[in-house]
Amino acid sequence: MRIVSWNVNGLRAVHAKGFLPWLAGCGADVVCVQEIRARPEQLPPELVAPPGWFSALAPAERLGYSGVALYARRAPDALQVGLGEPEFDVEGRLQVARWGDVTVVNGYFPNGNGKERDNSRIPYKLAFYQAVFDHLKPAFDAGQAIVVLGDFNTAPEAIDLARPKDNEKTSGFTPIERAEVRRWLAAGWVDTFRHFHPDQTGAYSWWSQRFGVREKNIGWRIDLALASPGAMPFLRSAEIHHAVRGSDHCPILVTLDGRAPEKGAAPSPPP
């Protein structure tokens, strides 16, 4: 099961840059998309329901803002949209889909910047993190296989951005935001990319759109895939597809294998 996550920074914009050919050729079974910034009626039919794909869009109430979408090679056995909490659900930030024993969570975690880039939305952001954590906790505690993918809008550690010293007061790298990600990890969630690439530097998934920034790889790793302990026996790889263009983010990928190792056996090495 290959699961891709990509903040496309506008589904209409990325469509004009070749999203559907990328989708057809990406080899994914499930594609989680964030920041669609459109309602279904604003999109061409081939983007709302690409042939050969199950699709589900969860836009924000506010036009041109936020929203998530899910594309999959087969329909999920269950799909939940939102948390059931209006303060979050109006922004179209979450889908929870289940295929068999695997639950895939498509999340677009808020940015902490206010209208004046003053970090005033950090409390809202942290409340969303907490709400998602609490919502998943019963399944997590039951040992279910869960993978939470998306734009977390937080670089967990200094290794995850090019200029950590310059951004200690910037939303996405403030101590309180990083502490929240660490709280998830301390509770048992696993940062899948760091599981396979613990020391890799320069591994980023977002770059400012200022001229030359991406070419110089002055970026941040804020698109994450966190796995529950119940998913870890099936985890085979975690990648960042930094060469894919079309957005200020690039896609990330995790691969799961339904053949879990026998009890007591060592997990298979990544491919």
Q: CA 158 from chain center: how many Å?
A: 20
- The number of residues making up the chain comes to 271
- Around Cβ 24, how many Cβ atoms within 10 Å? 12
Q: Known catalytic residues?
A: 151
Torsional class of 29: left (φ above 0), alpha (ψ -120 to 50), beta (otherwise): alpha
Joined tokens for residue 70: 């899910």
Residue 186: is it exposed, middle or buried by C-beta count within 10 angstroms (0-12/13-18/19+)?
Answer: exposed
HSE at residue 109, side-chain half, CA atoms within 13 A, is 30
Distance in Å from the first CA to the final CA of the chain: 14
- Give the single-character DSSP code of 251: -
Nearest to 237 by CA among 222, 220, 252, 251: 252
